[in-house]
Structure 1
Amino acid sequence: MTHQHLTDEAKPPHAPTHRLTLCFSSTRRGARLARQLAVQQFTEWTGLPYESDPAGAVALVTAELASNAVRHGSLPGRDFRLTLFLLPDCFRVEVTDTRPEHLPPSAPPQPDEGTSGRGLLLVEAYADRWGRAVRDAYTKTVWAEVRFRPMGS
């Protein structure tokens, strides 16, 4: 599996076969619910079991992106948005928050660079591609794509 980090691609490269967008409160509970929803939609849309490796990757990636939105991207009273896409070759998770000035680093930290940004190592390990995009003056989106093989392939 090759992992590629991109910072400039804001939109999925292919038309999605399924798409879902919901807002969640910028709380730990909201982040947990976002993770649960992402895995539920992944298994429903792909037919793969909850215990599959791709479903686990979706859970870890979504948990990290959502918790980062809560910790580093929230303003009081503002929610974060989760958008899920089923693309022909992958499942894409996008988390949009209200702090465009707080971008994640362009690459995960090295082992000797302290403790901040460690969750991005999980994203780097479990996502096939990921990146960030600032689409306007009020929001930023961090996204990740997890490849999978459809049932019966």
Structure 2
Amino acid sequence: MASMGEALVHAFERSGARVAIECDGAEVTYAQLASDVARTIGALRALGLKPGDRIAQIAANGYEAFLVVAAAYVGGFTLVPLQYNGDLEDHRFAIEDSRPALVIVDAGRAGRAQQLAASCGHAFLRATHDELATAAAGQPQRPLR
């Protein structure tokens, strides 16, 4: 049985030019998504993450949030999705319980990452989607397999 990451890579390979995602009026092909996923995995590895590490994410639905999910599956990371509208105590409990190596937030929750860093006993890296996208843009294109 294929993992979710393997299933995504298979879809990327078989459907290259077809539209994979329509979001906010933009269309992203499977080939572009594969490229973005590969570069995001590179950025996560450049931060020091390795397969099996946990990545917590607090984000509204959107392309950037999906990109983190896909990169986690394909890169072998463990995703810890946190409810976007959860309160600080819920997020703090989830961070303390799951002990992620990285917490990624969208622009609307950047302050939450700072609050969590100040209130959790567990140290973690933190990044916004914009910071991750900037780091990913600087990564060389690598094959997903």
Does TM, normalized by the shorter one, top 0.5?
no
**Higher relative contact order, structure no. (Cα contacts within 8 Å, ≥ 6 residues apart):** 1
Superposition TM-score, scaled by structure 1 size: 0.28
Hey, which of these two has a bigger chunk of strand by percent?
A: 1
